[in-house]
Structure 1
Amino acid sequence: MKSVASSLATVAVALSAATSASAQTPAPAPSQAATRAQQMFGDISPKFAELTDNVLFGDVWARPGLSPRDRSLVTVSALIAMNRPDQLRPHLIRARDNGVTQEELIETITHLAFYAGWPSAVTAISVAKEVFQKK
């Protein structure tokens, strides 16, 4: 798990270095709808919102090597393993939108209980219950 965290930190540093010369991105024009990233943290960190929109979702999620459904399963699994409930909530919704069934998500959580730890799975089940009740 520590190697995942250091890999993510390395990617973050590389992205930061690659974009440090860029000016901060202004807020979207009134004619454009604000993205979720812009709504969540664009006011405090426009560059982070831009990277989220353009690099993460505009490039990484758009790559042809995995379907959006498979990317959702991988992402949900990583968030469960790292015990990240705040990020898991929207990705469970995205996974459902990408064709992953509620039953498949519950099975994923159950499976990961044995690989990522019982406490992480308990947290994920609670988040899933909350998300599924809202939909």
Structure 2
Amino acid sequence: MSDSLSQLLKNHNQQQAEVKRQNEQLKKNAVQSTNELTDSLTEYVNEGVTEIFSKQKELEQLSRKLANQTTRYANQTQQWLTLVDSFNMSLKELGDIRNWAEVMEHDMKTVMTTLEFVHQGK
């Protein structure tokens, strides 16, 4: 009976050792799977973050370019407004000269008429 008890104990110990070995292997597999999942998730997140940073950099560059173009267009628009104001002033001056010439012509005609009247009166 002692042999059979000893055999049972030996079998039990072997089964326990086998269960322990299987549990260790399962634990090792679970840790490895968890590490692989973590690595995959980290890589996925990093790709997203990298893409976001890339897009942010591109947007910043486009924003600076747009600001520079806007400044250039504002300056050019100001130059055009100055040119138009100058042109309007020139037109006004021409109008003033024309008016002055018409007044002078009228005055000269008046002087001529007066001189003709004086000359005929003699």
State TM-score, norm by structure 2.
0.18
Which structure exhibits the higher relative contact order, with contacts defined as CA atoms closer than 8 Å and separated by 6 or more residues? 1
TM-score (norm: length of structure 1) = 0.16
Larger Rg: 2
Structure with more of its chain in helix, by fraction: 2
